[in-house]
Amino acid sequence: MSMRQDKVKVAVAMSGGVDSAVAALLLKKQGYEVHGFFMRNWNPLSNIPNDCPWQKDYEDVRRVCNHLTIPYSTLNFESEYHKRVLIPFLNEYQNGRTPNPDILCNKEIKFDVFWNNVKALGFHYMATGHYSKLENGALVKPKDADKDQTYFLSALSDRQLENVIFPLADLTKTEVREIAKKAGLPNAGKKDSQGICFIGKLTVRDFLKANLKIAPGEVKAATGELLGKHEGSELYTIGQRHIGVAAGGKTLYVSSKNTKTNTLIMDREENLYTNKLSFEKAAWSIPVPQSFQCQVQTRYRSKSIPAIVSLTNSMELVSGEAELLLPARAITPGQTIAFYKDSKLIGNAIIK
């Protein structure tokens, strides 16, 4: 860096969790001028039922920043979050698809709205507690393979990564916990958050029931046999078990959904695996040919699978098919597929 490190201002997106707290700690130790920011994304006065524990998270941010003797602020993005994350999330479910709101939140809020706001305040960089790594401007898998979060960041553009620091790139979760404990951080023992940020303790099912127009419909076997009824097809995702539905003593799972007839199609576990998928809305961080081999990841925490990717149009390169060299379970429309060359993220798309 051309300027003195103690003059480089870094805005740390702090969630109240131990990862972003340690990120702020490490940056301060490295001599940066660190400022913690808590993003207020959920409006508790909204008429959308929820159980988002943001007050407790904010209190943890306040305690950590006071412990580190760094300034902290709150930025309110309720309007942007509602428009750019929550509404698309609900619309996708209403249309029978299963989106990933964390990927959308990173692309639309944390690395867009948040960065534009702190940049306007004079900050040179932003940092988060993601387990991810940057090498020559490209996202690569971090040291902790089990906590790898590059999948959640796969929709970010090269421009969005230009002024980002990932302080936890070369640390494991165990090491992060130990650093937090030794530093006496007040949230050192806080459990990792689970589930979708704006739902809190509610189940996804209860949240969707409160916010979508749903209607009961038929549950059928892949053979066409009528098996029963469901509350609303939007409440189910591919690979999910339907309680009370079985055939021949075998447990059945949702294999597909027909949104036009509001029908769930059920099948046996062994029939949920496939070697092919189609995708759309692809974005690439490197030039790619019309056909190439790489590794793909079809959901968070799933293992990368070797695949042969074939793009439909040699000019646009935004849609195509992936032939999986190992079968994958419950490929789900609306989910993100991330493409890797070894440990380097090279693109993402939406599964059709």
User: Cβ distance 70 to 108 under 8 Å?
Assistant: no
- Is 232 annotated as contributing to ligand binding? no
- Range list of H helices, the chain: 18-29, 54-68, 78-81, 87-94, 101-105, 115-120, 173-182, 204-211
Let me know how many helices (H) and strands (E) the chain has, helices first. Answer: 8, 18
197 is catalytic: yes
Q: What is the dihedral of CA 51, 55, 58, 63, to 10 degrees?
A: -130
Which of 52, 65, 105, 294 is the catalytic position?
Answer: 105
Report how far residue 12's alpha carbon sits from residue 167's, in angstroms, rounded to the nearest whole number: 10
- Is 148 annotated as contributing to ligand binding? no
- Is 319 annotated as contributing to ligand binding? no
Ordered DSSP codes for 71-114: -EEEEE-HHHHIIIIIHHHHHHHHTT----HHHHHIIIIIIIII
- Is 221 annotated as contributing to ligand binding? no
Helix, strand, coil % in the chain, rounded to nearest 5? 30, 30, 40
In sequence order, which residues have a C-beta less than 8 Å from that of residue 340 and are 6 or more positions away? 141, 294, 295, 296, 297, 304, 346
Q: Nearest Cα to 127, choosing from 216, 23, 229?
A: 23
- Is 13 annotated as contributing to ligand binding? yes
- Is 291 annotated as contributing to ligand binding? no
105 is catalytic: yes
Beta-carbon neighbour count of residue 156 at 10 Å?
23
- Is 19 annotated as contributing to ligand binding? yes
- Is 246 annotated as contributing to ligand binding? no
Binding residues: 13-20, 39, 129
The residues carrying an active-site annotation are: 105, 197
Binding residues for ATP: 13-20, 39, 129
